[in-house]
């Protein structure tokens, strides 16, 4: 039923496309012999018919020629407009009387003329044969055929008739070309759909299928509309979830503030005990966790900030100074290798927070040294943060460490392991740039985290 309503569906396009392509090739190949026949074979013109008539009249006036031994040397050659014309005398049985051997072209023409039922002419490659002219001598039927040794230029498409293998090869090539163009026409919107799906899967919630694909009237257009609708729903759902987390985290700060205020009042009244100290410590930890959750949701939403083309070293200047100070306090060395000429479109605050979290994590677990370096490549820039610490023992943890609340070593204390939100914030910040982040164990030891940011 849908097929009748919508003639632009894929089934109809495939059917018509391949059917028309095949029909066109077959028609072109089949039409060539008809063109040749119409061009080479036609009614005999009057001057040629007159030439045969004169020869027949001469034989009728001199019937002794038919019984003479010199019949084979009978004047077979005539002049026709300055060109030699050869005349063939044929009896009722189709035997050529004035020639010992008839050519293949003549025998072929005799069959064509007999099938046509009237006098005709036919242009062979190097000669023109015409006839027959029928007459009687002493009650015996005879026929005359003529031949002119001339070569007429043939139309260019006759070349394909004489070269059948080449014609077949060209037909196959043309068919492949037409089918290839048709396949490209169908494959182009599918490639657009794939790019949009890959971008959406990579975290770019704003990715949509282009309008040229959406406006198609076939199933691909319907699929593009459904995909864009799905992407809108996913984006709204994710943003609603992030706003919910942000709102909950924000609301949790109010009772937490009251709790810390109550602890401060208790201290003033001299009611400080080990239990109150523990409550204050847990309250501080909870406040830090809420702050991290707010930062994570803020980076993922990224609603009120635009990219700016800035120098990377200047953007990270304060972060690098703080990291260097922190490394010195822990008797470790921070190596910085970032060219001041490197610039890239970025969100300053999310990128600074990402690099800050990664540097703090590297300094925390490094033995002696931490290195941060930036390199330019064709697609954009790559930032690498390398430490000489223990690295990650399990290969499966190299991807999981960027998930929220994930800690690769469950035996770590909270003071050293945190809540597993720092690397999640870094990943969210990189994805906001449509970039990629990955971790790998460095040799001989340590961990290397790479950030790739696009040039646009």
- With a pLDDT cut of 70, the percent of the chain lying above it is 76
> Out of 151, 152, 185, 250, which one is annotated catalytic?
250
Instruction: Express each pLDDT in 217-263 by its tens digit.
Output: 777 888 888 988 998 888 888 777 767 766 676 677 677 777 778 87
Instruction: Express each pLDDT in 334-372 by its tens digit.
Output: 998 988 888 888 888 888 888 888 998 899 888 899 999
pTM of the model: 0.48
How far apart CA 87 and CA 78 sit, in angstroms, is: 7
Question: Domain spanning 308-454: which CATH class is it, in words?
Answer: alpha beta
Q: Worst-scoring range by mean pLDDT, 131-135, 328-332, 359-363, 424-428?
A: 424-428
DSSP state of 205: T
- The CATH number given to 44-148 is 3.30.450.210
Residues 6+ apart with CB under 8 A from 274: none
Instruction: Express each pLDDT in 79-99 by its tens digit.
Output: 666 677 888 888 888 888 887
- Which DSSP helix (H) or strand (E) runs through 189? helix 164-201
Question: Does residue 32 contact residue 160 with C-beta atoms inside 8 Å?
Answer: yes
DSSP state of 153: P
Ranges of each domain in the chain: 44-148, 308-454
Active site annotation includes 250: yes
Structure tokens at 258: 């009251």
Residue 156, φ and ψ in degrees, nearest 5: -65, -30
| CA dihedral of 290, 296, 300, 305, whole degrees rounded to 10 | 90
Question: Does residue 21 contact residue 44 with C-beta atoms inside 8 Å?
Answer: no
How far apart CA 178 and CA 265 sit, in angstroms, is: 85
């Amino acid at each position: 039923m849908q097929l009748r309503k919508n003639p632009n569906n894929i089934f109809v396009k495939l059917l018509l496309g391949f059917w028309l392509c095949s029909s066109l090739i077959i028609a072109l190949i089949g039409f060539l012999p008809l063109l040749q026949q119409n061009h080479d074979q036609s009614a005999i013109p009057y001057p040629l018919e007159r030439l045969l008539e004169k020869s027949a009249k001469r034989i009728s006036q001199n019937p002794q020629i038919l019984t003479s031994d010199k019949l084979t040397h009978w004047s077979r050659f005539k002049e026709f407009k300055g060109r030699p014309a050869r005349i063939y005398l044929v009896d009722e049985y189709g035997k050529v009387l004035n020639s010992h051997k008839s050519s293949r072209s003549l025998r072929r023409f005799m069959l064509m003329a007999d099938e046509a039922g009237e006098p005709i002419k036919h242009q062979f490659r190097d000669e023109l044969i015409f006839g027959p002219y029928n007459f009687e001598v002493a009650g015996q039927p005879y026929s005359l055929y003529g031949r002119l040794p001339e070569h007429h230029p043939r139309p260019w498409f006759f070349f394909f008739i004489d070269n059948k293998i080449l014609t077949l090869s060209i037909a196959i090539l043309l068919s492949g070309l037409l089918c290839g163009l048709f396949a490209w026409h169908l494959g182009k919107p599918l490639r657009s759909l794939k790019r949009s799906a890959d971008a959406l899967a990579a975290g770019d919630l704003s990715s949509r299928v282009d309008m040229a694909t959406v406006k198609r009237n076939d199933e691909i257009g319907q699929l593009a509309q459904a995909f864009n609708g799905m992407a809108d729903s996913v984006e709204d759902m994710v943003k609603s979830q992030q706003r919910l987390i942000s709102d909950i985290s924000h609301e949790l700060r109010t009772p937490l503030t009251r709790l810390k205020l109550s602890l401060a009042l208790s201290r003033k009244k001299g009611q400080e005990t080990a239990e109150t100290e523990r409550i204050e410590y847990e309250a501080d930890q909870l406040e830090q966790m809420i702050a991290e959750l707010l930062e994570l949701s803020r980076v993922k939403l990224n609603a009120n900030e635009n990219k700016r083309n800035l120098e990377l070293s200047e953007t990270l200047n304060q972060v690098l100074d703080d990291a260097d100070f922190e490394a010195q306090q822990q008797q470790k060395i921070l190596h910085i290798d970032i060219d001041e000429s490197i610039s890239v479109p970025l969100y300053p605050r999310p990128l600074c927070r990402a690099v800050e979290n990664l540097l703090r994590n590297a300094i925390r677990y490094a033995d002696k040294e931490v290195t941060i370096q930036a390199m330019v490549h064709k697609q954009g820039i790559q930032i690498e943060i390398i430490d000489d610490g223990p690295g990650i023992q399990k290969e499966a943890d190299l991807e999981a460490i960027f998930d929220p609340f994930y800690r690769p070593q469950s035996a770590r204390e909270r003071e050293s392991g945190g809540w597993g939100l720092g690397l999640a914030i870094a990943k969210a910040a990189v994805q906001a740039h449509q970039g990629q982040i990955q971790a790998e164990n460095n040799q001989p030891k340590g961990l290397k985290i790479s950030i790739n940011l696009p040039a646009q």
